[in-house]
Homo-oligomer: A and B are copies of this chain.
Amino acid sequence: MNLTNISQNKVAGGWHKQVTHESTALNCTMRFALFLPPNASKESPVPVMYWLSGLTCTDENFMQKAGAFNTAAKLGIAIVAPDTSPRGDEVADDDAYDLGKGAGFYLNATQEPWSKHYRMYDYIVKELPLLIEANFPVSNINAISGHSMGGHGALTIGLSNPNSFTSISAFSPICNPTHCPWGQKAFGAYLGQDQESWKAYDATELLKQNPSPLPILVDQGDADNFLHEQLKPESLVNAAKTHNSNLELRIQEGYDHSYYFISSFIEDHLVFHAKHMFK
């Protein structure tokens, strides 16, 4: 697989890189960002936290705004931040911010005009980790985290692929997309009107069906404008009780949906994942 390094900046003793490649899962050129901590080498490969971003984001939002580098450098954790959808002129899109480009929802679309490119689930689960492991000094120990739509992605991908990750965390995730406007709109378009097919991409439904094999940490601000209509963490917590899943939800007083919130607690998430990655 052919990688093109398009930017490189030293940070926290390690390196931030932006890389493009031809994605076979998505049938288009994709860009991702990577942080390598200073101790990463072929002789001592480091674990990776995959970070899935929210609606309208690219590979850049987390890397520029989360303030995660110094902690990740100290812990010896790489971070990979993929884009949030397929990209390019030939990729189907919608005028709304919550469908099409920037809104891939980390699923495999089955409906036209989306199914040719919108296969973010396969990209994150299958293609990207192989590409990262083949090209950078990382181990096969991975954790997964994300924000909002990406929190939904981290929860559903982590729960459905427990052998691929040590731990799951999320900020302000869309916890029950089959029961909120963002999810219903996107799933209807990408997956069609058979709502049974939606459940595989709903973290609350997954936790109702089975216990989580992985520990989960969720942070949610109580001043988040999207909390009650779109995010519904109480549904996730209730579902987690069905099979006694190991889920900690922390309601953070006064915090909103922004990266100011993420930057306040990303250190906790990295330490949480490190505990499970290095045990």
| Interface of A toward B, CB cutoff 8 Å | 9-13, 16, 64-67, 69-70, 221, 223, 254-256, 258-261, 263-264, 267
Inter-chain CA distance A65–B109, complex, in Å, is 34
Inter-chain CA distance A64–B66, complex, in Å, is 8
Q: Is the CB of A260 within 8 A of B9?
A: yes
Separation in Å of the A141 CB from the closest CB of chain B? 25
- Can you add 8 more A-B contacts, CB < 8 Å, to A10-B264, A13-B264? A9-B260, A10-B255, A10-B260, A11-B260, A11-B263, A67-B69, A67-B70, A67-B263
Residues of B within 8 A of A65 (CB): 64-65
Separation in Å of the A270 CB from the closest CB of chain B? 12
Residues of B within 8 A of A64 (CB): 64-65, 259
Residues of B within 8 A of A70 (CB): 67, 263-264, 267
Question: Please, could you name 12 A-B residue pairs with CB atoms under 8 Å apart, sorted by A?
Answer: A9-B256, A9-B261, A10-B223, A10-B261, A11-B260, A11-B263, A11-B264, A13-B264, A64-B65, A67-B69, A69-B264, A70-B263
Chain A to chain B: the 6 pairs with minimum beta-carbon distance, closest first = A67-B67, A11-B260, A9-B260, A10-B254, A10-B255, A12-B264
Residues of B within 8 A of A267 (CB): 70
Separation in Å of the A74 CB from the closest CB of chain B? 12
Inter-chain CA distance A187–B9, complex, in Å, is 31
Residues of B within 8 A of A223 (CB): 10
